[in-house]
Chains A and B, each alone.
Chain A
Amino acid sequence: MADNIQLDVARYSPERDDFPSFQSYTVPLRKDWVVLDALNHIKDKVDGSVTFRWSCRMGVCGSCGMMVNGKPKLTCATFLSSYAPGPVRVEPLRYFPVVRDLVVEMSDFMTKFRKVKPWLVRKEEKPISEGEYLQTPQQLENYKQFSMCINCTLCYAACPVYGLDPLFIGPAAIATAQRYNLDSRDQGAEERMDILAQHEGIWGCTFVGECTKACPKNVDPAGSIQQYKLTAAMHWFKSLLMPKASK
């Protein structure tokens, strides 16, 4: 294995630049290093001005999402040696506004995520004296996959519809809405459907499937969206043909 590898890091300083450019750095190619290690090496030893987000460095916080050679990846879970002999192109997450260098502005995702009510919605709360909400393993299975989302927004960086239509609510938001819709303790499916069954909700999705490929936690947002389309369509027909029964 070679000693070094070249990293081409996107740099953008809003005070100085009109658009991003690349700066090349040479970092040691260590067998156990991930791209995040290389970035931290650059920041510590070479160029302290490189700016990027990271936190847990073990693939559970979702902070370190970036484009590595054009693909959305968690840089703490992407081995440098996979890209040998390089060079490795590191860019900020696609389809989000760039604040500086590799840092993107996530508030669009945050707003959309909040819109789908990502919490258990109850029509009436069960009093504490009546004990916990019980759930069988089968009921847990129904939504467990969708609960694995770490909000890293790699799926948004992969989704061309999100890139083309800024109003599209996006894969993670819909998958999380499904996580709660399918939870036996939740009673908020009707409220969420009002938000999701819009043009910029599920109907904007054309099942490209890139979101599922990009997801580091195997959440399968594309599957969740198609399943929800079926649910929403059946609900639409039911409310059309039997308006009283569906209320």
Chain B
Amino acid sequence: MNVPARSAPRHTPYHPRWYRTPVSTYWWMQQWSYFRFVLRELTSLGVAYSCVILLCLIRALSLGPEAYEALQKRLATPMVIMLTVISLLLVLLHTITWFRLSADAMVVRVGGRRIPGFLISASNYVAWLVVSGIVAWLLLR
């Protein structure tokens, strides 16, 4: 009797044919929370960009006033400004998500009770404002 191939049982002996759903390369686009996660991870690019800018500044200062002026001009070109704005947004996102993550990751106990996460975040934000203020003051005085 000719049995069409489709109707014959399709399992390997002694073992069922499990189906393994493939994970798409675009898994991070399939869910809003996954996309937010990848965006959070990409903030590291903004951090790297900032380090490069700072190194350029240090080098320019070391080379003399003309180099410093040239750097200021280069930094003001539209292309660089665009990159800087994107990086600034990424770096701010890094700060915000970092404070939220470190609140979740740390267990700080005072007198036997655990300090709630939002207090840790809040104190981080206050410290951030204070530190930023000090750095700005040092640069501007």
Contacts and interface: CB of A to CB of B under 8 A. Distances in A.
Given A16-B10, A95-B23, A213 B104 contact: no
B104 A223 contact: yes
B28 interface: yes
Interface in B97-122: 101, 104-107, 112
Interface string A92-114: 00110111100001000000000
Q: How large is the interface on A (under 10, 10 to 19, 20 to 34, 35 or more residues)?
A: 20 to 34
A94 B107 CA distance: 31
A17 B10 CA distance: 8
Contacts of A20: 19, 21
A119 B44 CA distance: 39
Given A160-B34, A222-B104, A15 B19 contact: no
A91 to B, nearest CB: 9
B23 A164 contact: yes
Interface string A150-165: 0000000000100110
A14 B18 contact: yes
Interface residues of B, number: 25
B18 A105 contact: yes
Contacts of B19: 12, 14, 17, 19-20, 97-98
Interface stretch (A38-46, A57-65, A74-82, A203-211): A203-211
Nearest to B12: A14
Interface of A: 12, 14-20, 70, 94-95, 97-100, 105, 138, 160, 163-164, 206-210, 212-213, 220, 222-223, 226-227, 229-230
Interface of B: 6, 9-11, 16-21, 23, 27-28, 30-31, 33-34, 37, 41, 101, 104-107, 112
11 contacts: A14-B10, A14-B17, A14-B19, A15-B10, A17-B19, A19-B19, A97-B19, A97-B20, A98-B20, A138-B112, A226-B106
